[in-house]
Structure 1
Amino acid sequence: MKEKIWAEAERLFWQHGVRSVTMEDIARQLGISKKTIYQHFDDKEDILCQIMQSKVDADVAELNCIADVTLNPIEEMMGMLQMICKKQEHVNPCLFTDVQRYYSRAYQLIRQHVDNHIMKQVVNNILRGKRDGIYRDDINPRVMARIRVEQIELALSTDFTSFDEGSRLDIQRDLTHHFVRGMLTEKGFAIYNEYKND
């Protein structure tokens, strides 16, 4: 039963955002009582935290796989972009904003993931790109990685995306390409041109 509750809560959160979904909504969709839900979870944020932890674990595995199988740092960045777009495609834009504003424990899981995994991967990507002569020597990997993380979060923000006519996925793609192009050497541009339409 716990897995069914979890799966239904995830579906509802992804479709409607977290704040607008109640325990009553989850129970109604499953044809069970709220009491049954509370036998498995402390509250809505407990459900959300368990879902987020599972997503973080899956993201870490996927990021590691992308880093292991890509031929160069540009391909790795494009792989990360595809991963982000795939995950954003079926998520209500309110989800991230809801978590950030109202669910501090769940947001803390996301922050730890960003700081411990995404930042590290982007820093390693930049170091690899500099070593391979694909990225410019004069860039600071930690500063650039922080900028990249902020770009990803900016594209998730409902405040930002409401100003633009394009989709969140288009914004994410534009920001990624802008970021990568700013780091490239001449050698890097030659490689980038093979991937720029991804």
Structure 2
Amino acid sequence: MKEKIRDTATQLFLERGFKSITMDDIANEIGMSKKTIYNEYSNKTELIEDCVMHKFCGLSDGIDLIIAMDKNPIEELYEIKRYVLSHLNDEKTSPQFQLMKYYPKIYKNLKNLHFNKMQKCVMSNVERGLEQEIYRDNLNAEFIARIYYSGMNSIKDQNLFPLDKFPVSKLMDAFLEYHLRGIVTPKGKTILNTIINSNQE
């Protein structure tokens, strides 16, 4: 029962935002009484925290599986981007910013987890790219990881990048290409161009 509530609530929160969705909305969507939900969760904040952490852990596990496939680092970043996009509904209502505004403690915890995960993944990606000579040999892996994290967060700001001008999937593609073109070697550039061309076909 708890899993059904969490999965339904997560879907609704991602589609319409954390503030917009009420416990009544969730109960109606599942076809159960609100009292049943309160048997599992004492309040909406507790439910949101469970949804957010479960979603993060699921995405984190999926990213780990992609990394374990041992693709070349450039292809790996594109695979991770596709995977994350497919599980976040394009963030149409910018749930991250609603979370930041209305549930700051949950947001802060999620942000720390996200930062640590991305640092680890990107630093590993850069180090493997250096070993394979597809990234420039003068890179500082920690700097690249931090600037990548900063950029990924910036492009989610819909005041800077309004959805009508910058659809999420195209924006992420543009950012990823921008990031990679700054760090690849000629060998890496060939791989990058092949991936970009295949994505456009």
TM-score, with normalisation over the residues of structure 1? 0.90
How well do the aligned residues superpose, as a CA RMSD in angstroms? Answer: 1.9
Note if contact 2:123-2:145 (Cα within 8 Å) is conserved in structure 1: yes
State the match for 2:182 in structure 1.
Answer: 182
| Segment of structure 1 superposing worse, 173-182 or 106-115 | 106-115
State the match for 1:81 in structure 2.
Answer: 81
Structure-2 separation of matches of 1:130 and 1:179: 15
Q: What does residue range 57-136 of structure 1 map to in structure 2 within 5 Å?
A: 57-136=57-136
Deviation string 1:26-58 (CA, Å, 9 cap, x unpaired) is 223334333222111122121111112221221
Deviation string 1:104-123 (CA, Å, 9 cap, x unpaired) is 23313421322221210001
Q: 5+ unaligned residues in a row in structure 2: which ranges?
A: none
| Segment of structure 1 superposing worse, 112-121 or 156-165 | 156-165
Deviation string 1:91-131 (CA, Å, 9 cap, x unpaired) is 43321111122212331342132222121000110111112
User: Number of paired residues?
Assistant: 198
- Please state whether the residue corresponding to 1:27 is helix, strand or coil: helix
Note if contact 1:13-1:21 (Cα within 8 Å) is conserved in structure 2: yes
State the match for 2:11 in structure 1.
Answer: 11
Note if contact 1:45-1:105 (Cα within 8 Å) is conserved in structure 2: no
In the TM superposition, structure 1's runs of 4+ consecutive aligned residues that sit over 3 Å from their partners are 30-33, 88-91
Q: Which amino acid aligns with 1:105?
A: K
Q: Which amino acid aligns with 2:47?
A: I
| Segment of structure 1 superposing worse, 156-165 or 66-75 | 156-165
| Segment of structure 1 superposing worse, 102-111 or 46-55 | 102-111
TM-score, with normalisation over the residues of structure 2? 0.89
Q: Which amino acid aligns with 2:114?
A: V
Structure-2 separation of matches of 1:171 and 1:113: 23
Note if contact 1:88-1:169 (Cα within 8 Å) is conserved in structure 2: no
- Please state whether the residue corresponding to 2:159 is helix, strand or coil: helix
Q: Which amino acid aligns with 1:101?
A: K
Using the aligned pairs only, state the percent identity: 28
1:40 aligns with 2:14: no
Q: 5+ unaligned residues in a row in structure 1: which ranges?
A: none
Note if contact 1:67-1:76 (Cα within 8 Å) is conserved in structure 2: yes
